[in-house]
Amino acid sequence: MRLGRERYRGMALLAGLVLMVAVSLLAVTAAGGMTLQQHQAANFSDRQLAFSRADRARSWAVAWLFSRPGEQREAACSSNCFLPQAIHTDNQLPAHPEIMLLSWWQANGVAVGVDPTSADAENQFASGEESALWLIEEIHYVAQPDTAPGIEGVAYYRVFARGGADDSVVVSESIIARPWGEAVSELAFPPAGSLSGFCAAITDEIPCGQLAWRQRR
């Protein structure tokens, strides 16, 4: 009888240990799942922040491009032109700027909140983020016929914008058409309102504004 009670106690103790081990494993698994979810949420948040900064850099680059006076680009020139400061010529930039290090972007790009023609920061617009940067490359120019008086031609630009947040990096590429000539009124810079007003003042027959966009990284 005593032996039976001891065997019963031993089985109860073993069952209790097994139950404790199972509960511990469940707790560890749950904690690991929570940690993974936290990491995923943090990564998603960083990705969204990087995308937002890249989009802000793109908007700043386009605003600066639309603010350039007409005389800052050599009229009717299709190659080896005199271009506004901070605009690169075709094939001057690497083929894949999205893989370049942040140090390269900081050395070659323009930060949000900075006017590249004066290198001064516009405090009310400055982001304070060294990872929000942009680059502009002129890739094509088409002289405009006499059917559009006051417009000498349309230049096409590739705008690269980079945004970063911790380990997340987003790089986008936009194709922008920008008419040049006496009939084109440049916008204020820093931007004081919507950029749509620039193209709204130009006839519909002339390409103007963003033509394409894609995310490269």
Split into its structural domains, the chain has a count of: 1
Q: In angstroms, how far is CA 197 from the centroid of its own chain?
A: 23
Residue 7 in any domain: the answer is: no
What does the alpha-carbon distance between residue 78 and residue 73 come to, in Å, rounded to a whole number? 11
Specify the pLDDT at position 124. 44
- 74-83: long-range contacts, CB 8 A cutoff, minimum separation 24: 75/152, 75/153, 75/180, 75/181, 76/143, 76/152, 76/153, 77/141, 78/141, 78/143, 81/138, 81/141, 83/138
Beta strand 153-165 pairing with 133-143: antiparallel
Report yes or no on 180 lying in a domain: yes
Print the SS3 string covering the chain: CHHHHHHHHHHHHHHHHHHHHHHHHHHHHHHHHHHHHHHHHHHHHHHHHHHHHHHHHHHHHHHHHHCCCHHHCCCCCCCCCCCCCCEECCCCCCCCHHHCCHHHHHHHCEECCEECCCCEECCCCCCCCCCCEEEEEEEEEEECCCCCCCCCEEEEEEEEEEEEECCEEEEEEEEEEEEECCCCCCCCCCCCCCCHHHHHCCCCCCCCEEEEEEECC
Collect all residues with Cβ–Cβ distance below 8 Å to 59 and sequence separation of at least 6: 191, 195
Residue 32: inside a domain: no
Sorted by sequence, the CB contacts under 8 Å of residue 189 that are 6+ apart come out as: 63, 64, 67, 115
CB 213 within 8 A of CB 172: yes
In a domain, 200, yes or no: yes
| pLDDT value, residue 78 | 74
Whether residue 19 is contained in a domain is answered as no
pLDDT of residue 1: 56
pLDDT of res. 84: 77
Tell me if 26 is assigned to some domain: no
Interval 125-178: pLDDT, tens: 444 456 799 999 999 999 887 777 888 899 999 999 999 998 899 999 999 999
Residue-number span of the structural domain to which 185 is assigned: 43-215
Low-confidence ranges of the chain (pLDDT < 50): 123-128
The whole-number pLDDT of residue 130 equals 65
The span from the CA of 138 to the CA of 156, in Å, is 6
201 in a domain, yes or no?
yes
Q: Is residue 28 part of a domain?
A: no
